[in-house]
Structure 1
Amino acid sequence: MKKLRIGIIGVGGIAVGRHIPSFLQLQDICEITALSDINIDRAQETAEKYNIPHVFPEYHDLFSVVDAVCICTPNKFHAEITIAALEAGVHVLCEKPMALSAEECEAMVAASKKADKVLAIAYHYRFMKEAQAAKKAMEDVGTPLVIRVQALRRRKVPGWGVFTNKDLQGGGSLIDYGCHLLDLALWLMGNPKHTTVTGTAYNTLSKMPNQVNQWGAFDHKTFNVDDHVTAYIQFENDASMLFETSWAANIKDDAEHLSISGVDGGLSVFPFELYTTKNGMLLNSEAAWLPGEKEPGLQQDRNFIEACLGLAELVVKPEEALQVSQIIDQIYESGGNKL
C-alpha cells in the first residue's frame, strides 16, 4: 500500500509534542517527508532529530513533495495556509480552532469541496476513550435536553508561545481550551443547529499585577484576551447548553465536566457514567473497562491518514468544526464583548 507523504507546517510545541510522534508511530501508512517554519533553524534541528529529508522556509514550496499537510501555526494563518494547500491538491489536517472566524472557516470548507480533498480539524477530545464510550451510550440518553460543560483551569494562563496574543490567536481561554469541550458536546448531541447564543467574556484577573500562575509568567499589562467565559446556548431541538471555560478563575480546582441529561437517561463523560431509571429505581452505571487506546492524538492522526487513503470516514468533519467557530464568534460578540 502506498504511504501518505506528510508535511508539517509550523514546528512548535503541538507539532513536536503530538503530531510528529504520532505520525512516526504510523509509519506503515505514512511518512513525514517535509517541514516548514519561519524559524528555519528550529525546522532544521527538528528535521535532523527525526530524519526528515526536506525543510522549506516558505510553506508553498513544501506542497510539491507531500500528499498532505498538518498545520500547526498560530490561528491567524490557519485559513490562508489551508486554502493554499487545498488549491495545490494537498489534503489538510489543521490544528484547532479551525480559524480566527466563522467566515474564514466557510472559505476553508468551500476550498475543500472544490478541490475534493480531505480537510480535518484537530479536535482530539473526540478520540478519547471516554468520549467514544459516551457517543455509543447516547442511544441510552435519548433526545438531549440539558448539556453542562465546564473546561476550567484555576491559574493556568499559558506563559509560552503566542497564546495571549489576540492578533495571532483571536482570543484566549475560549478559542484555545473551551473549544475542545464545546466541540465534543456538539458532536455527542449530533450537531443540532444552534439558534441563540449569549455569553460574557472576562479578563479581569489576568490584568491584575502580581500574578500567581502555574504555567509561567506573562505580561498583565498587555493581556487582552479572555481568561474566563460563560455562555448559554439554545438549539433548534429545544436542547440547551450551560457552558463555562477559564484559564484563570477563583475556584477550588481545575475541572473538565461534560454531562448530558436526556429524555431516556443521562451521562457524564469525565469520568464516564450513565444515569438511568429501571424497575422503579435510580441507577448509576460506571464502566469497569473502556475499549480504546490511551493516545487520542495518535487515533486522530490515524483517522486523518486513513481518510486521505480512502480507508475511513473522517471523525471530525469540517462543517462540524465550522459550527464550533460560529458559536465562538457569537459568544465573543454577545452583549458587545470586545476584549
Structure 2
Amino acid sequence: MSKLRLGVIGAGGIAVGRHIPAFQRLKEDVTIIAVSDVNGERAKSVAKEFGIPHAYENYHDMLPEVDAVVICTPNKFHSEITVKALEAGVHVLCEKPMAVTVTECQAMIDAAKKANKVLSIGFHYRYMKESQAAKKVIDAKEIGEPLVVRVQALRRRKVPGWGVFTNKDLQGGGSLIDYGCHLLDLSLWLMGNPKPVEVTGTTYNTLSKQPGQVNEWGNFDHETFNVDDHVTGYIRFENGASMLLEVSWAANIESDKESVSISGDRGGLEVFPFKLNYAKHGMLFNSEATWIPSEEDPGYFQAKNFVDACIKGTELVVKPEEALFVSQIMEALYKSSQDKKSVQL
C-alpha cells in the first residue's frame, strides 16, 4: 500500500479539532478522501472546509472506497461501526472510550483478529511529552516497581454543555467515561497494564442536578441530567499494586487539577508536570526535567502511529487489548456504585 485512503465517520468537534488536521499533515502517506455524518449537511460542510473530496450521510457507502477510518461518533455506536468497518477489510482508529461495555469491546477485538486489520483507540494522552518521559523512566526501573498510583482528573464547574456528553443513552456515562478514561488509560499504561482484580467505586451527580447552575462550559438541563459528574474509585491489581482514582466535571475545588502520581519501591514520579522524587545517600531529592523533547501535538503522533501501523506494520502505541482493561474498570466502577459493594474481576 503506497498511500492510505482514509475516511472519517462522525463530523463533530473531535473530528475537526484533532483528527482531520492531524491526518492532513501526513499527506505523504495518507489522503482523507471522505467524511460521513448522520447529518448530511454537516458532512458536506466539513468536507468543503477541509478540501475533502466526498461526503456521505451513511458510513456504509464510504467503506468500499477507503483503506482505513477514524470513528468519531457518540460512544454508543463505536463497537457497531468498528465491527462493520473491520468486516469490510478496513483498518480502524476509534475515539475513546473503546465502547460502552466490555462485551462490545471484545467484539471489536475479535473482529480485528478475524479480519487481520489494525484496530487502535484514541487515548492520545499516551503521546504527550510528559507521558512519554514518564514511560521511559518507569521502563528503565528508575522508580522500581509501581506500588500506589493516585489519579485526579478534576474540573471545576466544566460540564460540557454541547454535543451529547450528558446523554446517557448515547454516551454510557459522564465524567468518567468522557474525561477520566484518559488518565485511567495513561496510568495503566505507565504501570505496565497489570490485571485489575477488584474495583470499588462511587458515582455522584448531585451537584449537576441542582437548579441555578454556574458552569463555565455552556448550559445544560439540570432536570434531565442523568450521568455522573463526579466519581471516586479504588482499584486493586493482581501484582499487588493499587490505584486511587477521582474524576469530576464539576468539583467544588479551587481550580482544575490533572494529576498522575506513581509511588514505586525505589522512587516516585509526577506526570503533570513531570517530576521525580526519590531518597538517596541519606537524603530526599525532588528533581525536574529542564527540557523534554517534542512540543508536537499528541494528536499528530497518534495519527502517525496509526498510519505507520497500517502501512508498515509498526507496533501500535495503544493496543485494543489494553483499552479493554480501561472499559473493564469503568464498567466495574459503575456497577460497584450501583450495587454498593466491590466488584471482583
Look up the equivalent residue of 1:44 and give its one-letter code. Answer: K
Q: Deviations over 1:115-156 (max 9, x none)?
A: 000000000000000000000011211111100000000100
Q: Which amino acid aligns with 1:71?
A: I
1:293 has 2:295 as partner: yes
SS in 2 for 1:309: helix
Q: What residue is the counterpart of 1:129 in the other structure?
A: 129
Amino acid aligned to 1:183: D
Equivalent residue, structure 1, for 2:260:
258
> What's the secondary structure of 1:285's corresponding residue?
strand
Q: 2:186 aligns with which of 184, 202, 208?
A: 184
Say if 2:214 is the partner of 1:212.
Answer: yes
Residue 28 of structure 1 deviates from its aligned partner by: 1.1
In structure 2, the partner of 1:160 is: 162
Q: 1:302 to 1:337 in 2, by over 3 A?
A: farther
Unaligned runs of 5+ in 2: 341-345
What is the match of residue 35 of structure 2?
35
Would the aligned equivalents of 1:201 and 1:337 in 2 still touch at CA under 8 Å? no
The aligned counterpart of 2:77 is 77
* Number of residue-to-residue matches in the alignment: 338
Farther off after superposition, 262-271 or 305-314: 305-314
Deviation at 1:335? 3.9
Q: Hey, what does 2:18 align to over in structure 1?
A: 18
Displacement, 1:53?
A: 1.1
SS at match of 2:156: coil
**TM-score scaled by length of structure 1:** 0.98
* Paired residue secondary structure (2:318): coil
RMSD over aligned Cα atoms: 1.0
Confirm whether residue 313 of structure 1 aligns to residue 294 of structure 2: no
Kindly provide the amino acid, as one letter, of the partner of residue 297 in structure 1. Answer: G
Q: CA deviation at 1:24?
A: 1.0
Q: List, as ranges, runs of 4+ consecutive aligned residues in structure 1 with deviation greater than 6 Å.
A: none
Residue identity matched to 2:215: N
Q: TM-score, normalised by structure 2?
A: 0.96
Match of 1:118 in 2: 118
Shift of 1:6: 0.4
Residue 231 of structure 1 aligns with which residue?
A: 233
Q: Which residue among 171, 174, 187 is the counterpart of 1:172? A: 174
Q: CA deviation at 1:294?
A: 2.9
Task: Name whichever of 329-338 and 190-199 sits farther off.
Answer: 329-338
Aligned to 1:222: 224
The 1-side partners of 2:56 and 2:252 are apart by 45
| AA aligned opposite 2:181 | C
Q: Structure 2 counterpart of 1:175, which letter?
A: I
Is the contact between residue 203 and residue 337 of structure 2 (CA under 8 Å) also seen in structure 1? no
Q: Counterpart of 1:6?
A: 6
